[in-house]
Amino acid sequence: MNETFLQACRGEHTAYTPVWFMRQAGRYLPEYQQVRSKVSFLELCKTPELAAKVTLQPVDIFGFDAAILFSDILIPMEAMRLDLEFHEGKGPIFSRPVRSQRAVDDLVVPVPEESLPFVLETIHLLRGCLRVPLIGFAGAPFTLATYLIEGGSSKVFLHTKKMMYQEPELYHNLLTKITACTSAYLQAQARAGAQALQLFDSWGGILAPCDYEAFALPYVRSIIAELRAMTDVPIIYFINNGATLTALTTTAGADVLGFDWRLPIVEAVACSGRHAVQGNIDPLALFLPKERLEERIRTMLLDARDARGYIFNLGHGILPETPPGQVRIAVDAVHRFSGKP
């Protein structure tokens, strides 16, 4: 087992800089497309052999230093008894948005072993063949709540913020239930063998810091505190577009803070104190010509050199349009420049 990634998470010395990419298992890979052409996205998530197969692809092809479970943050929301659909090009749809106490009452907090066995089975399969650490994950409660309240993706999050501002008790009840589900789900992943856990807060960055502190952060803290009580796997908290929330995210209790590309990594490192740092090249920078991409990676490695631990990653998920050859250039550059033997 190559433990470089886990060492970096724990702030230990590493022989070189480990690298993985958010959404590294996905549509930019022809090998993924081939599997996906035969099943729907949800079927792929729920079929352990196939989910394990696409999880392994980028690790085998590019030599990433960690694998991340192929799944979607909304899978456990479906297990709360919500109708989840994915429409091509439109993203996820919940046909009945959760906007009333009655709708909250109808949500079931699932027992992962009963309602999400395919995820745990995927983890078992992967641990049997991986030689790099396996990352499990979940959406952060606020991010999950936005999908439930809006009924899908959103631009301005009108319904979410209206509920926060006008019906804070209802909002709290919903978030409490999502938090219970997420907490149990991550604990089950750790028990099943996930060696690190990442909380994805894709939408936390739409909140002013005062609102993030009141309406999002407490639920993240609670999940992490419960995980701490049962496991010592490293916990990564990634927040998208959260530069102004950094001081708050350092109080969440995570081991690693993940950053999007808007905050220069040198500043991210300076703000992160005892945390390891993960990030944060613009996913679109993978479209740079080879020499300029390598130059940008070299600069990032230099700028991150004072981090307690450093994991190279994109600042957000890789885009489907990315040429795989560019991914190889990037992974090789991180390894070469950081002295991988």
Pick the closest to residue 194 from 267, 134, 255, 115 (CA basis): 134
Instruction: Indicate the Cα dihedral angle 323, 282, 27, 193, nearest 10°.
Output: 120
Residue 22 beta carbon to a second copy: minimum distance, rounded to whole angstroms: 13
Q: Which residue shows structure tokens 């960690």? A: 66
Work out which of 45, 66, 236, 263 binds a second copy, going by CB under 8 A: 263
- Answer yes or no: 292 catalytic: no
What secondary structure does DSSP assign to 15-57, as a single string? SS--B--TT-SSTT-HHHHHHHTTS-HHHHHH-HHHHHHHHHH
Q: Does 325 sit near a second copy (CB under 8 A)? A: no
Q: Cα dist. 139→31, 71, 213, 234, 275 in Å?
A: 26, 11, 17, 16, 20
Q: Does 284 sit near a second copy (CB under 8 A)? A: yes
Token code pair at residue 44: 């792929």
Residues 110 and 170: beta-carbon distance below 8 Å:
no
Q: Spot the catalytic one: 72, 211, 303, 332.
A: 72
CB closer to a second copy out of 111 and 284:
284
- Answer yes or no: 72 catalytic: yes
State how far the Cα of 58 lies from the Cα of 327, in Å rounded to an integer: 10
The two beta strands, 235-239 and 256-259, are: parallel
Q: Does 292 sit near a second copy (CB under 8 A)? A: yes
- Answer yes or no: 36 catalytic: yes
State how far the Cα of 8 lies from the Cα of 230, in Å rounded to an integer: 21
Q: Does 270 sit near a second copy (CB under 8 A)? A: no
Q: Spot the catalytic one: 36, 127, 191, 308.
A: 36
Binding part of the chain for a second copy, among 94-102, 135-143, 170-178, 205-213 by CB under 8 A, reads 205-213
Size of the site for a second copy (CB under 8 A): 32
Q: Cα dist. 90→85, 87, 111, 138 in Å?
A: 10, 5, 30, 21
Pick the closest to residue 144 from 194, 118, 181, 95 (CA basis): 181
CB closer to a second copy out of 112 and 151:
151
Residue 288 beta carbon to a second copy: minimum distance, rounded to whole angstroms: 5
Work out which of 241, 249, 278, 338 binds a second copy, going by CB under 8 A: 241
CB closer to a second copy out of 167 and 226:
167
Work out which of 81, 90, 96, 162 binds a second copy, going by CB under 8 A: 162
Residue 240 beta carbon to a second copy: minimum distance, rounded to whole angstroms: 11
- Answer yes or no: 147 catalytic: yes
Q: Which residues are marked as active site?
A: 23, 27, 36, 72, 147
Contact residues for a second copy, defined by CB under 8 A: 156-158, 161-162, 165-166, 205, 207-211, 241, 243-244, 261-264, 267, 282-285, 287-289, 292, 315, 319, 321
